[in-house]
Chain A
């Protein structure tokens, strides 16, 4: 391990990767950084503003509200989709044609484009022609997503659960299939209850896929745009206006490039930070506690 030969030419091997990352991430990101610290009025009229845009973004009431909505939304859908996905994976058939059939059925929602999902649910929930909207009205339940913020929230969450739980279920299903039969056999011999099998075999073996599922679902849901935009347009009022919609309004609608660049960077850093904290915490949980007294 310690007899490595120092050779700076090894950097050459990293170079292609560096070029690739530069074009795919660093250079585009730098243009955003560029805008975020300047006030660009025209091709030759630009002023350095320092952290001014960042400060105004962080202190913007509307954005703070959108941020809170965003966090709530992500937490709610994670709290529903992760347990539900695990549950579905546990009851899915393990082999035979039934397994294939269920897999295909479950995957279907994943194949539908975001704005189509929004449109489907928009029609689905209409009181006059939508099955759900009409059905609920016939049952005497008042339901209107364009007027009632609660209804809008419930519908958006329901839509996201319908659209994305299959991803969690499929990841968990593949995780469960990779557990060797011997684990279940040993558990039977150790007289483990069904709950103990889940708690001490299945769940620990699912940790890695669940980390991926949580990260993907968090990032996805934190950036959600098309579905609520098509379904509610962010309304009623701004009840379902999430961060990306605020950003779009600012950047495309109002052409406020400086503030929206600063906002984009904050947005990006929040996602990065949350993902990193989550990942490190989970990985640390699997390590041994340091032995007493040090070693």
Chain B
């Protein structure tokens, strides 16, 4: 059983880091609870794999602590942590059969052979590898190999967490889906913490109960897929989650109105106050002059005629994506995306957009500020 806690963790590959840019992981605190299915989501180079390697012990963090059940394990090598890791490219022992591959971690721990066999057969059964047990691992397909490397993590009784580093990269799309379901099944069957690194939001949300979104070496939001969609805590989350991502407008407070360039925006009273106080606070501080409103494409309604609280827009294109249409429009020289439900009446080039006030979010310095809690 392990609860993995990261305390004040930071890592740099430089010996003497100068400034934030040298850090692959910036100062962060995080807790992974026992038995959870987590995803670590972020673009390439955001520090996901670094974080994973720190948890498994392949890397020693330059600052902060890694705690397993409250015990500091910074200096413990991977072989002394009860953790398994599955890599992007399947790692298998070429010359061994599938059986020997699965038995390898057990044999390395000098497990008596009469206990190795039932365990290997059990894991092979779960992973549907039983017919392949006598085959040489070298001649398997990529997805079978990846299952073998997962299996090596599952055979050990002492494993309390399995870390996956983009494990489905080399797998064919149809098989990806099957393997993902297999993972989910394994998670439900064993009480194992699973952390799954990916840059694919669909993969993350189908696998995980909670997703940690990483951006520039920090976890910017940790929440359920729904939370990430509905209340992105950071502009990056808004932009990265959802397809297409959130629309952002840099706004100012002028003449008692929330202005997006020259266009006054119809927002709720609450939002107006929040923007006003933010603008007020930043008036003396140039570094804080960063106020944005965000709205998801799903919550923009488009109509050809003017309705209450709408703004005039310039439609540039409509793309039919089957179950919905993607509409691109221009407002104040900036490109926006809106999602039109199936069967939406065609819109003219000069149309009107209505932002659903309940779903307009306020970001100050890229971070979400709950309007109304001011």
Contacts and interface: CB of A to CB of B under 8 A. Distances in A.
Interface string A196-236: 10001100110000000000000000000000000000000
Given A182-B87, A185-B58, A200 B108 contact: no
Most buried by B among A182, A186, A189, A196: A189
A200 B78 contact: no
Interface string A162-185: 000000000000000000101101
Contacts, number: 62
Most buried by B among A186, A190, A205: A190
A188 B108 contact: no
Contact of B105 (A182, A191, A288): A191
Interface string B133-149: 01110110000000001
A193 interface: yes
A189 B93 contact: no
Contacts of A287: 136, 139
Contact of B83 (A189, A193, A201, A291): A189
A204 B87 contact: no
A188 B79 contact: yes
A200 B95 contact: yes
B94 A205 contact: yes
Given A185-B78, A185-B85, A288-B139, A191 B109 contact: yes
A189 B88 contact: no
Interface residues of B, number: 29
B87 A200 contact: no
A8 interface: no
Contacts of B79: 188-189, 191
A112 B77 CA distance: 46
B351 interface: no
Nearest to A203: B95
Contacts of A189: 56, 78-79, 83-85, 153
A157 to B, nearest CB: 31
B61 to A, nearest CB: 16
A286 B135 CA distance: 11
Contacts of B108: 190-193, 196
A182 B164 CA distance: 12
Given A200-B96, A288-B139, A185 B87 contact: yes
A110 to B, nearest CB: 30
A186 B153 CA distance: 10
B20 to A, nearest CB: 27
Interface residues of A, number: 21
Contacts of B236: none
B215 interface: no
Contacts of A291: 134
Contacts of A180: 89, 91
Most buried by A among B58, B88, B89: B58
B93 A204 contact: yes
A192 B93 CA distance: 11
Interface string A278-295: 000000001111010000
Contacts of B85: 185-186, 189
A170 to B, nearest CB: 23
A205 B92 CA distance: 11
Contacts of A188: 58, 77-79
Nearest to A205: B94
Contacts of A182: 87-89, 91
A286 B95 CA distance: 7
Contacts of A186: 85, 87, 91, 149, 152
B152 A190 contact: yes
Given A189-B83, A288-B136, A204 B95 contact: yes
Nearest to A193: B108
Contacts of B91: 180, 182-183, 185-186
B149 to A, nearest CB: 7
Contacts of A200: 93-96, 104
A8 to B, nearest CB: 36
Interface in B296-335: none
A196 B100 CA distance: 13
Contacts of A201: 93
A291 B97 CA distance: 13
Contacts of B78: 185, 188-189
Interface string A88-112: 0000000000000000000000000
A164 B87 CA distance: 38
B105 A190 contact: yes
Contacts of B93: 200-201, 204
A150 B367 CA distance: 83
Interface string B109-141: 100000000000000000000000011101100
Most buried by A among B78, B83, B88: B78
A191 B93 CA distance: 14
A190 B149 CA distance: 10
A204 B136 CA distance: 13
Nearest to A201: B93
Contacts of B105: 190-191
Contacts of A185: 53, 56, 58, 78, 85, 87, 91
Given A200-B93, A288-B139, 19 more contacts: A182-B88, A185-B85, A186-B85, A186-B87, A186-B91, A188-B58, A189-B78, A189-B79, A189-B85, A190-B105, A190-B152, A191-B108, A192-B104, A193-B108, A200-B94, A204-B93, A205-B94, A288-B135, A291-B134
3 closest cross-chain pairs (CB), A and B: A186-B91, A182-B87, A191-B108
